[in-house]
């Protein structure tokens, strides 16, 4: 029941997105392109506001993060170093009859009766196939259904009038080997690399092969040294980037949630290794409990920095209108973690299409991952490029010289072991890994190390969809004649609403009203996005803006012109989208009132 309701809600949201110009299918006039989406006038403004609010909170409101804007296509070695060339793949399976492709982990386990066939022959043509095949039927379905699917399989192998050979059946429990849509056997799972390839230059050769970036993060690592040199930053500090990413997803689905082209907002926040903190401050501060740990402190180790960024990200989502209870903090289990990650928290939003737990509660789908990635990424680029990614820490060298020999030995050993673990995992022979880890541990004592990283990585499109789902409401409001009707209203936080204010002259055939309304539009326009609308009854115009999610409406009426008394001259009606309350305000104060409302909600 709950699922039917949420499916219906999702349908309404998708339909509103098209009707009001938030999101269109890409290339729609040619039948669309699966996994690609365009943003219409309102959607484009919404996305721009999301990116601006993220950028502002990440860079302009902080001293310790700077921005980067890198290219989409980069040197192919980058993807070897990052591991994307060899491991960025999903397991996929194909239906042996329809050839439809699925992600292996998205096939729901099914039970029923499996029908097996040894082959098929056609007495007319004399052809025969010895290929084995099977079909899973739900309990109670007649075997004829399995035979129909099996005949299709053999027809595809040239056996036109197939007589099935060696049929037998047996019960099957919780199997993921069959296509849930027609019961046909699937191929064995095999890896499918998700990177989209292209060729740089006029010759389509292996040497010219390159990739559209599958994440924005790698450019940050590759440019780490350049940014460090020019920005006068020291560890701990961050580099962030917003930009397009591309993944050839096997099954794009849930509207824009899993697309093939999307945008990411990523921060790589570089920190000292814990051994350096301990050498400088005597100990490493660890989390004292859940919640925001407060202003960053120099003695924080990676765990506190990780907790800090998780909590900062929750604060950000709340600041643009996603309530805390609509979000889920999911700690990846040890078997889900990437091999280099020490901890990853996924921030999930309870989308209407999310799976439900046994209590019927929405479990949420990933908006963002906040990963503690150790020094893996920079170490990889150091190995692959041959360029040093170490930094010199001015405080570390003198602090190290004051340590006791026992402490030096302890911290060196801990650092050596971490480096050795990393190098061994990359496949370096034990002896070489040992030698290099020793060199790295000695360098630590001289003030050099490769920074560790905390990475909050979010998707713009997923956030736009979450904000749209969160904003969608239906309530009751009076129509022109005072009868109650259903109102669709998008309750966006004013900070990210596509249009901030609509300006209406009460009547369009009264030049004085129109002139004044245009003056108000021009007064507000330099500071915020304004929509001017003079067409139709005022109630209809309000409804249109409610659906677009415009939080404020300003109506210029006869009071504004002073026709209802001089005390009301140069005032206007300010209407609030959510409460539908109206108040009279002085036009001279309007701009300040709106700026305050947008900033503080």
Residues that bind ligand GAP (CB under 6 A): 215, 217, 247, 249, 258-259, 262, 264, 266, 366-369, 457-459, 461-462
Residue 215 or 275: the one with the smaller Cβ distance to ligand GAP is 215
Burial of 330 (0-12, 13-18, 19+ CB in 10 A): middle
Confirm if 286 and 468 have CB atoms less than 8 A apart.
Answer: no
Residue 263 or 440: the one with the smaller Cβ distance to ligand GAP is 263
Spatial CA neighbour of 549 closest among 585, 600, 479, 502:
502
Residue 336 or 519: the one with the smaller Cβ distance to ligand GAP is 336
Query: CA 240 to CA 225: how far, in whole Å?
Result: 14
In whole angstroms, how close is the CB of 104 to ligand GAP at the nearest point? 17
Confirm if 454 and 377 have CB atoms less than 8 A apart.
Answer: no
Residue 374 or 412: the one with the smaller Cβ distance to ligand GAP is 374
Confirm if 462 and 367 have CB atoms less than 8 A apart.
Answer: yes
In whole angstroms, how close is the CB of 50 to ligand GAP at the nearest point? 12
Residue 452 or 516: the one with the smaller Cβ distance to ligand GAP is 452
Query: CA 570 to CA 591: how far, in whole Å?
Result: 14
Residue 458 or 501: the one with the smaller Cβ distance to ligand GAP is 458
In whole angstroms, how close is the CB of 85 to ligand GAP at the nearest point? 15
In whole angstroms, how close is the CB of 55 to ligand GAP at the nearest point? 16
Spatial CA neighbour of 19 closest among 43, 46, 48, 45:
43
488: how many CB neighbours lie within 10 A of its CB? 16
In whole angstroms, how close is the CB of 367 to ligand GAP at the nearest point? 6
In whole angstroms, how close is the CB of 87 to ligand GAP at the nearest point? 12
- Stated as kind and residue range, the H or E segment containing 520 is helix 511-524
Alpha helices in 202-288 (DSSP H): 217-222, 224-231, 274-281
| φ, ψ (nearest 5 deg) of residue 117 | -130, 140
CA-based torsion, 532, 538, 544, 549: positive or negative: positive
Residue 321 or 369: the one with the smaller Cβ distance to ligand GAP is 369
* Tokens at 543, concatenated: 């409804």
Query: CA 315 to CA 309: how far, in whole Å?
Result: 10
The closest residue (CB) to ligand GAP is 459
Residue 453 or 499: the one with the smaller Cβ distance to ligand GAP is 453
In whole angstroms, how close is the CB of 34 to ligand GAP at the nearest point? 12
Residue 215 or 557: the one with the smaller Cβ distance to ligand GAP is 215
Question: Checking DSSP bridges between strand 501-505 and strand 119-121, what pairing results, if any?
Answer: unpaired
Please report the DSSP string for 428-475 in residue order.
--HHHHHHHHHHHHHHHHTTEEPPEEEEEEEEHHHHHHHHHHHHEEEE
Query: CA 184 to CA 170: how far, in whole Å?
Result: 15
Separation in Å, CA 330 to CA 100, 234, 341, 379, 461? 32, 31, 15, 28, 20
Give, in degrees to the nearest 5, the angle at Cα 158 between 142 and 185: 45
Residue 301 or 369: the one with the smaller Cβ distance to ligand GAP is 369
Residue 112 or 459: the one with the smaller Cβ distance to ligand GAP is 459
In whole angstroms, how close is the CB of 122 to ligand GAP at the nearest point? 44
- Stated as kind and residue range, the H or E segment containing 265 is strand 261-271
In whole angstroms, how close is the CB of 579 to ligand GAP at the nearest point? 33
In whole angstroms, how close is the CB of 15 to ligand GAP at the nearest point? 21
Residue 347 or 501: the one with the smaller Cβ distance to ligand GAP is 347
Confirm if 404 and 391 have CB atoms less than 8 A apart.
Answer: no
In whole angstroms, how close is the CB of 457 to ligand GAP at the nearest point? 4
Helix axes 460-471, 2-19, angle to 10 degrees: 110
In whole angstroms, how close is the CB of 54 to ligand GAP at the nearest point? 12
Residue 66 or 367: the one with the smaller Cβ distance to ligand GAP is 367
- Which residues are CB-neighbours of 559 under 8 A, at least 6 positions away? 565, 568, 569, 571, 573, 584
* Tokens at 445, concatenated: 């004592």
In whole angstroms, how close is the CB of 330 to ligand GAP at the nearest point? 11
């Amino acid at each position: 029941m709950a699922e039917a309701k949420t499916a219906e809600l999702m349908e309404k949201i998708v339909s509103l997105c098209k009707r009001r110009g938030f999101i269109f299918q890409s290339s729609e006039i040619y039948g669309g392109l699966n996994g690609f989406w365009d943003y219409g006038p309102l959607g484009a403004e919404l996305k721009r506001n999301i990116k601006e609010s993220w950028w502002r909170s990440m860079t302009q409101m902080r001293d310790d993060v700077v921005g980067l804007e890198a290219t989409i296509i980069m040197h192919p070695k980058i993807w070897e170093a990052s591991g994307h060339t060899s491991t960025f793949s999903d397991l996929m399976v194909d239906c042996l009859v329809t050839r439809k492709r699925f992600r292996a982990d998205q096939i729901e386990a099914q039970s029923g009766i499996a029908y097996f066939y040894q082959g098929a022959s056609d007495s007319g043509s004399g052809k025969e196939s010895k290929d084995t095949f099977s079909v899973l039927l739900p309990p109670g379905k007649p075997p004829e259904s399995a035979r129909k699917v099996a005949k299709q399989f053999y027809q595809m192998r040239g056996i036109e009038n197939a007589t099935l050979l060696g049929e037998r059946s047996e019960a099957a429990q919780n199997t993921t080997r069959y296509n849930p849509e027609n019961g046909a056997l699937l191929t064995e799972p095999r890896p499918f690399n998700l990177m989209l390839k292209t060729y740089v230059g006029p010759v389509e050769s292996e040497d010219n092969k390159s990739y559209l970036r599958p994440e924005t993060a790698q450019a940050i690592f590759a440019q780490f040294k350049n940014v460090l040199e020019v920005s006068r930053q020291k560890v701990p500090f961050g580099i962030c980037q917003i930009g397009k990413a591309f993944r050839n997803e096997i099954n794009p689905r849930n509207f824009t949630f899993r697309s093939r082209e999307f945008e990411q907002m990523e921060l790589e926040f570089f920190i000292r290794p814990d051994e350096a903190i301990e050498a400088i401050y005597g100990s490493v501060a660890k989390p004292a409990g859940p919640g925001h740990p407060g202003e960053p402190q120099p003695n924080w180790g990676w765990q506190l920095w990780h907790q800090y960024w998780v909590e900062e990200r929750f604060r950000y989502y709340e600041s643009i209108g996603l309530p805390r209870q609509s979000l889920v903090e999911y700690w990846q289990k040890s078997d889900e973690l990437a091999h280099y990650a020490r901890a990853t928290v996924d921030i999930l939003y309870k989308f209407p299409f999310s799976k439900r737990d046994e209590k019927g509660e929405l479990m949420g789908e990933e908006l963002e991952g906040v990963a503690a990635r150790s020094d893996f990424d920079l170490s990889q680029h150091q190995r692959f490029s041959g360029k040093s990614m170490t930094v010199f820490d001015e405080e570390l060298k003198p602090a190290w010289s004051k340590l006791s020999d026992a402490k030096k030995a302890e911290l060196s050993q801990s650092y050596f072991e971490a480096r050795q673990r990393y190098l061994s995992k990359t496949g370096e022979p034990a002896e070489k890994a040992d030698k290099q880890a020793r060199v790295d541990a000695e360098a630590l004592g001289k003030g050099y190390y490769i920074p560790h990283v905390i990475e909050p990585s979010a998707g713009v499109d997923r956030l736009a969809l979450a904000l749209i789902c969160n904003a969608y409401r239906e309530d009751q409001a009076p129509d022109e004649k005072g009868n109650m009707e259903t109102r669709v209203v998008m309750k966006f936080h004013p900070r990210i609403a596509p249009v901030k204010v609509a300006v209406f002259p009460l009547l369009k055939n009264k030049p004085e009203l129109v002139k004044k309304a245009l003056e108000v539009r021009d007064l507000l326009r330099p500071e915020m996005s304004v929509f001017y609308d003079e067409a139709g009854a005022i109630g209809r115009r309000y409804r249109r803006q409610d659906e677009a999610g415009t939080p404020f409406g300003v109506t210029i009426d006869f009071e504004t012109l002073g026709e209802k008394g001089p005390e009301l001259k140069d005032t206007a009606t300010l209407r609030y989208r959510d409460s539908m309350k109206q108040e009279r305000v002085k036009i001279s104060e309007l701009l300040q009132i709106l700026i305050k409302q947008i900033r503080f909600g």
